[in-house]
């Protein structure tokens, strides 16, 4: 409620809390309605929530109770909004590292003009345009939304809802990708491979970033099945599909690390680090933009006997993960080794 205080109205659909949430929100001035959605699906709940929006509203900002806008979001939105705009894109931090630094960051589009959108898909729901004329999405750099999820919250409902989404729209490439990813998360390796390959075979699956992710996930599944030969093939395909992303290089680097292929590990981590601009897509992963590539590079260079270069890379990793005990220990080893070499040379 504090983060939404810049809005004219705050409208909340409570779908089953039993801890006084609805009453506390009403006390803070929110418009709250309680309703059971049966059978449960996220798009139905979100569409129901839009009924609560007052007729005078022009722009809707859809956020959940575990998300918070940083101050100044409304002024930034009003300054950027244009008469023909229908939706706005903004910066979103989906996860944070244990030290408080950002993890997964991307740019969603859940701010929209009232009355010209509806939500579709039982889970991982998205807005679909229903208005006249053409949809126009603007980008608002001054808006920052932070996600602070409950780590104990169950994801159990996601799998059956994703299976329902694919059953309802078997040709929807996005739903197939998400279902394949969910199978991977749950360790259902062959189911994941089959669904992700189905995603890649769909004629509408043309977005290189998401295709690359499906290929990476197939590689991970084959690795878990003990087929590193096939994992390597799929990682190479992923790199070729989206060479502008760090993630496929680092997935292959993980395999090379396990194989103790230090020359290959150094090469592919350097390929990842050569990409210096983080894409705005949800496909990016926090680890790829943190200490991991520098950590891999330092270890590879150490085993290749390039101690000074290993030390430089370890310092970069330590700067990005100052609380990581293993990285700090590696750094100390590299520093001591270099000192001893220098002392001997002297």
Q: What pLDDT, on a 0 to 100 scale, did the predictor assign at position 242?
A: 97
CA distance 342 to 346: 6
The pTM of the whole model exceeds 0.85: yes
Here the tokens at position 105 are 């960051």
- Chunked into runs of 10 residues, the chain (346 residues) has average pLDDT values of 95 94 96 96 97 96 95 97 97 88 91 97 97 96 94 87 97 97 97 98 98 98 97 98 97 97 98 94 90 97 95 96 93 86 47
Q: Name all contacts of 279-282 with Cβ < 8 Å and 24+ positions apart.
A: 279/209, 279/244, 279/245, 280/89, 280/106, 280/107, 281/106, 281/107, 281/209, 282/94, 282/104, 282/106, 282/108
Q: In this predicted structure, what is the pLDDT of residue 341?
A: 58
Residue 343 has a pLDDT of 52
Whole-number Å distance between alpha carbons of 186 and 183 = 5
For the chain, strand residue ranges (E) read 11-14, 31-34, 59-61, 67-69, 87-93, 105-106, 111-113, 117-120, 126-129, 137-147
Tokens of 98: 């244990």
pLDDT at 6: 97
Nearest partner of 65 among 35, 98, 30, judged by Cα: 30
Ordered DSSP codes for 272-336: HHT--S--SSTT--GGGGTTHHHHHHHHHHHHTT-HHHHHHHHHHHHHH-TT-HHHHHHHHHHHH
**CB-based contact 198:211 (threshold 8 Å):** no
- The domain segmentation of the chain, as residue ranges, is 11-147
* Burial call 19-52: b when 16+ CB within 10 Å, e when fewer: eeebeebeeeebebeeeebeeebbbbbbbebbee
Using DSSP's 3-state secondary structure scheme, residue 5 falls into coil
For position 239, what pLDDT does the model report? Answer: 98
């Amino acid at each position: 409620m504090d983060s939404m205080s810049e809005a004219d109205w705050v409208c909340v659909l409570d779908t089953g809390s039993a801890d006084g949430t609805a009453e506390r929100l009403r006390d803070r001035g929110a418009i709250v309605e309680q309703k059971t959605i049966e059978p449960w699906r996220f798009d139905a709940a979100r569409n129901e929530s839009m009924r609560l929006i007052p007729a005078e509203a022009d722009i809707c900002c859809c956020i959940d109770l575990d998300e918070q806008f940083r101050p100044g979001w409304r002024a930034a939105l009003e300054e950027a909004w244009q008469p023909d705009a229908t939706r706005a894109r903004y910066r979103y931090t989906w996860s944070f590292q244990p030290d408080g630094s950002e993890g997964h960051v991307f740019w969603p589009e859940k701010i929209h003009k009232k009355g010209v959108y509806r939500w579709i898909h039982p889970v991982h729901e998205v807005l679909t345009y229903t208005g006249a004329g053409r949809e126009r999405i603007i980008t608002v750099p001054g808006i920052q939304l932070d996600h602070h999820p409950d780590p104990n919250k169950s994801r159990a409902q996601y799998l059956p809802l994703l299976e329902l989404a694919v059953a309802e729209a078997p040709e929807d490439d996005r739903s197939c990708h998400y279902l394949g990813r969910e199978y991977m998360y749950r360790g259902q390796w062959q189911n994941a491979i089959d669904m992700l390959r189905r995603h890649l075979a769909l004629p509408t699956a043309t977005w290189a970033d998401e295709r690359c992710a499906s290929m990476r996930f197939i590689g991970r599944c084959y690795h878990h099945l003990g087929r590193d030969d096939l994992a390597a093939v799929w990682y190479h395909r992923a790199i070729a599909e989206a060479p502008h992303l760090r993630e496929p290089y680092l997935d292959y680097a993980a395999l090379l690390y396990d194989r103790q292929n230090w020359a290959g590990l150094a090469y592919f981590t350097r390929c990842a680090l050569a990409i210096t601009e983080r894409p705005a897509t949800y496909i990016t992963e926090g680890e790829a933009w943190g200490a991991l590539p520098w950590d891999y590079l330092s270890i590879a260079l150490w085993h290749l006997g390039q101690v000074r270069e290993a030390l430089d890379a370890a310092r970069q990793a330590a700067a990005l993960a100052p609380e990581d005990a293993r990285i700090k220990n590696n750094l100390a080893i590299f520093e001591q080794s270099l000192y001893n070499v220098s002392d001997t040379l002297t």
